Amino acid sequence: MKIGVLALQGAVAEHIRMIELAGAEGVAIKTIEQLNDIDGIILPGGESTTIGRLMRTYGFIEPLQEFSQQKKPIFGTCAGLILIAKEISGQDQKHLQLMDITVARNAFGRQRESFETDLVVEGIADDVRAVFIRAPLIEKVGKEVRVLAEYQGQIVAAQQGHLLAASYHPELTDDYRMHAYFIDMVNQK
């Protein structure tokens, strides 16, 4: 089984390392042709406006929307979560618009721009290590979306069928259980 990591900008090598620790093969995805060879894809953290712009430049928008229509699993982390959201608060520019969530960018106050914590993540564990870096949060979820984790009453992880989203960076820790969970979603497909 092969899991891709969209490699236009952001934390790519770190995700590949976690995919391999969790027992699958990780591939850096730089061209749309490569999407045919993978069973699931991670959209990494970075800067969502930059990654969104590069996705348009390299023609990734429609092929990724088709990838999702085929119910192939997609995991968005941090900026990646912003890329798959249907709505972005206070911003007209949207990206892939796959998951029925509204996100707020850079949603944690100044002193909390970056921090690390353990989270209770439903179906995974009650001590999942998470790194938040100028993280977004999920303000609203549609009926089909299951909330997986909250931090101080705010939604920070959710799932809608084959779509998984986390506000934080699970790849900047040594805890690969989020990746193992995603690989299970791909296996069950």
Concerning whether 78 is annotated as a catalytic residue, the answer is yes
**Part in contact with ligand GLN (CB under 6 A); list of ranges 40-48, 91-99, 122-130, 171-179:** 40-48
Quick check: 52 binds ligand GLN (CB under 6 A)? no
Structure tokens at 19: 């995919």
Establish if 82 lies at the interface with ligand GLN (CB under 6 A).
yes
Applying CB under 6 A, among 79, 137, 178, 185 the residue interacting with ligand GLN is: 79
Task: Name the β-bridge partners of 133.
Answer: 114
Question: Which residues does residue 26 pair with via DSSP β-bridges, in sequence order?
Answer: 3
Q: Which of residues 15, 105, 129, 162 is near ligand GLN by CB under 6 A? A: 105
The one among 40, 46, 73, 76 contacting ligand GLN by CB under 6 A: 46
Of the candidates 35, 152, 30, 165, which has an alpha carbon nearest to the alpha carbon of residue 88?
165
Question: Is 46 annotated as contributing to ligand binding?
Answer: yes
Give me the 119-138 binding string for ligand GLN, x by CB under 6 A, dash otherwise.
Answer: --------------xx----
47 lines the binding site for ligand GLN (CB under 6 A): yes
Q: Look-up: residue for tokens 């949060």?
A: 137
Beta strands 154-160; 163-166: pairing state: antiparallel
Stretch that binds ligand GLN, among 39-47, 67-75, 146-154, 157-165 (CB under 6 A): 39-47
Tell how strand 25-29 and strand 2-6 pair up.
Answer: parallel
* Rounded CA separation 19/148 (Å): 20
Around Cβ 161, how many Cβ atoms within 10 Å? 13
Total residues contacting ligand GLN by CB under 6 A comes to 11
The string of DSSP letters for 138-151 reads: EEEE-TTPEEEEEE
Told to judge if 179 belongs to the known catalytic residues of this protein, a careful annotator would answer: no
| C-alpha–C-alpha distance, residues 18 and 53, integer Å | 26
Binding-site ranges for ligand GLN (CB under 6 A): 45-48, 78-79, 82, 105-106, 133-134
- Enumerate the active-site residues: 78, 169, 171
Q: Which residues are annotated as a binding site for L-glutamine?
A: 46-48, 105, 133-134
